[in-house]
Structure 1
């Protein structure tokens, strides 16, 4: 039985990996590209992705909420952390990446002037410095095990590559992205 349907944008780091998350966790999630689905605006009037509808009709939006729901509906809730502190740090990193980091990349994309691009690039580099420094103390964002925040981070860094934002001078990030990319979720079918 299908756990639900996820409407997503294939170019959007907040939603393009969530079907693979569900499948990795043993939940059958059908992925649909939102722009290809005439029913999407009626089901989700804000027309934002990710947008999830469960097999019993439960609707949910927002990347963090959808990831939380998927993980906690699976038999592997520890993918968000084993202890309360790990869970809190997992969701803190996830929130930081989806708000601060994704927004700063959006600022470059929507910049109308060169000054706006330079300012947005400065913010991205400050955030990359923060992440790189944080990774000097552990292999992954929350410790020595890959959690869902790391999987989302990999999606985010792929988005940076898509926008030609170079992070190769951040050694800890480079090592981190390479290690996270080896996780089995990236060999799990996406849709």
Structure 2
């Protein structure tokens, strides 16, 4: 019997990334589109996805909290940080990607379609890629010396962020490009995200 149900928006990278993580962790969790549930807003008044409803009535929302919970209840040690410092670095990067980077992308995609607004947000996303390029110059992965969920989450958004920046990503950001290829080659979740 499944542990519970994760309600998703199939169009959202946050949701699709979580589905891949759940599969890789080997968790028995039912996946369902929130649009298929008549009483979704009764269960989750904010109406936001992803949202998790456990069979015992426990409810949880917010991407970073969901990741932390699913990793904690899993027997799979692959993505569990090795110590508290690694854990807070993973949380730091998940927050940065989920807030700062995704917000800039949303402003580019959903904001007023003027060239000036698009340029402002494209430049902001490019500055974020420059920051990542610099950070990855001193270590192989986002949060340290091994692949973490922070790498997987950035990986899941990488193509969308790249579209905002434009230009030649491989030339402009060679270290970030190398990181992307390494994660794609060496991580099961990234392989699934890259080849759904």
Q: Same fold (TM over 0.5)?
A: yes
The match for 1:175 is 178
- Could you list the runs of 4 or more consecutive aligned residues of structure 1 that deviate by over 6 angstroms after TM superposition? none
Displacement of 1:80 in angstroms is 3.9
**Aligned residues of 1:17 and 1:155 also touching (Cα < 8 A):** yes
**Aligned residues of 2:122 and 2:164 also touching (Cα < 8 A):** no
* Whole-angstrom CA distance in 2 between matches of 1:28 and 1:74: 10
**Aligned residues of 2:156 and 2:190 also touching (Cα < 8 A):** no
* Whole-angstrom CA distance in 1 between matches of 2:106 and 2:4: 29
What SS class does the counterpart of residue 16 from structure 1 fall into? helix
* Whole-angstrom CA distance in 1 between matches of 2:123 and 2:191: 34
The match for 2:61 is 61
Gaps in structure 2 of 5+ consecutive residues = none
Do the aligned partners of residues 140 and 28 (structure 1) sit closer, same or farther apart at CA in structure 2, a change above 3 Å counting? same
* RMSD (CA atoms): 2.2
1:99 equivalenced with 2:99 (yes/no): yes
User: What is the TM-score when the length of structure 2 is the normalising length?
Assistant: 0.87
* Whole-angstrom CA distance in 2 between matches of 1:186 and 1:56: 31
Displacement of 1:188 in angstroms is 5.7
* Larger helix fraction of residues: 2
1:185 equivalenced with 2:186 (yes/no): no
What SS class does the counterpart of residue 180 from structure 1 fall into? helix
Matches within 5 A, 1:1-191: 1-76=1-76, 79-112=79-112, 113-160=114-161, 163=163, 165-166=165-166, 167-168=169-170, 169-182=172-185, 183-186=187-190
What SS class does the counterpart of residue 56 from structure 2 fall into? coil
Deviation string for 1:133-184 (max 9, x for gaps)? 11111111122211111111111113335x5644332111111111222311
* Whole-angstrom CA distance in 1 between matches of 2:192 and 2:107: 32
What SS class does the counterpart of residue 141 from structure 1 fall into? coil
**Aligned residues of 1:7 and 1:32 also touching (Cα < 8 A):** yes
What SS class does the counterpart of residue 79 from structure 2 fall into? helix
* Whole-angstrom CA distance in 2 between matches of 1:93 and 1:8: 22
Deviation string for 1:104-142 (max 9, x for gaps)? 000101221221111111111111100111111111112
